[in-house]
Amino acid sequence: EAEKKLLGEKNTLFESIVNKLYDFPELKDIVYSILFMGKENSYNVLDQAVGTAEMFGFIKNMNGVIAIANRVFETVFYNLFLTSMENQNTDIYKAAVRDKNQFVYAGHLNMDLILEKFVLHFDELYGDRPERFKEEDGRRYFLLYLRPIINGTGNYYIESRTRNMERTDVIVDYRGEQMVIELKIWRGNAYHERGERQLIDYLDHYHL
């Protein structure tokens, strides 16, 4: 709750973060590639962009890979990218705005229905795009769809790392309920079964 309140307030730290991203486009590229493309960029202190990002406190060295410094900064970056006018003008965002009133009943978020509607819209709007597009932009479009639905009431965390360093894609908190959503490209039954086992481990960790 404290984190949600902090993220909802205007403060000089967040304004400074945003300004630095626009002042240093290479930093914006690094952050975007981590958040939306899932790139594991190698940490190299001699790289000027990496050094600058670390100096500003945006990133950290996690086992030789660049990672966003903390969850608050990560959410600030996501909100910045997802609320740009360019993204708000996308068809998937507009679809979410039209759909959003049907997903909450008696204070509970119907995540199954959200996923069904998202898949329907995504296939309709982007189904003819190449596979690489779906892999790299699928997460971004899901978040674009999700954000106006939970905005102001719920919150989300991206690629949360558990204490034993396992990873998931999206964890949604809505009025005290927590939901785990994995965004994966279909690669056959064997890959899917491994993903199911991984998801069970996540659920056990979060006691869901």
Mean pLDDT over 29-44 rounds to 86
Mean pLDDT is highest, among 5-9, 109-113, 187-191, for 109-113
The answer to whether 158 touches 35, Cβ cutoff 8 Å, is: yes
Instruction: Evaluate whether residue 170 is within a structural domain.
Output: yes
Verify that 90 and 166 share a domain, yes or no. Answer: yes
Q: What mean pLDDT value characterizes the chain?
A: 82
**For the chain, how many residues are written?**
208
Q: Which pLDDT value is given to residue 132? A: 58
Q: Which pLDDT value is given to residue 46? A: 93
Could you say which DSSP state residue 159 is in? S
Q: How many domains does the chain have?
A: 2
Mean pLDDT over 172-195 rounds to 73
Q: Which residue blocks in the chain are alpha helix, DSSP H?
A: 2-7, 12-23, 25-37, 48-55, 71-82, 85-88, 91-99, 111-126, 131-150, 189-205
Is the predicted pLDDT of residue 162 greater than 60, yes or no?
Answer: no
Q: Which residue has the higher pLDDT, 2 or 158?
A: 158
Verify that 14 and 91 share a domain, yes or no. Answer: no
Verify that 57 and 95 share a domain, yes or no. Answer: no
Least confident range from 96-100, 166-170, 188-192: namely: 188-192
Verify that 25 and 94 share a domain, yes or no. Answer: no
Verify that 47 and 137 share a domain, yes or no. Answer: no
Instruction: Evaluate whether residue 80 is within a structural domain.
Output: no
Instruction: Evaluate whether residue 55 is within a structural domain.
Output: yes
Q: Which residue has the higher pLDDT, 195 or 66?
A: 66
Instruction: Evaluate whether residue 24 is within a structural domain.
Output: yes
Quick one: tokens of 170? 């999206």
Mean pLDDT over 88-112 rounds to 94
Mean pLDDT over 82-109 rounds to 93
Q: Which pLDDT value is given to residue 193? A: 63
Verify that 64 and 98 share a domain, yes or no. Answer: no
Q: Which pLDDT value is given to residue 37? A: 76
The pTM of this model reads: 0.76
Q: Which pLDDT value is given to residue 160? A: 47
Instruction: Evaluate whether residue 20 is within a structural domain.
Output: yes
Verify that 54 and 109 share a domain, yes or no. Answer: no
Instruction: Evaluate whether residue 78 is within a structural domain.
Output: no
Instruction: Evaluate whether residue 162 is within a structural domain.
Output: yes
pLDDT digits over 103-144, tens only? 999 999 999 999 999 999 998 998 787 765 565 677 788 999
Verify that 42 and 119 share a domain, yes or no. Answer: no
Q: Which pLDDT value is given to residue 165? A: 38
How many whole angstroms separate alpha carbon 109 and alpha carbon 112? 9
Is the predicted pLDDT of residue 4 greater than 80, yes or no?
Answer: no
What residue numbers bound the domain in which 14 lies? 2-69
Instruction: Evaluate whether residue 46 is within a structural domain.
Output: yes
Mean pLDDT over 49-53 rounds to 93
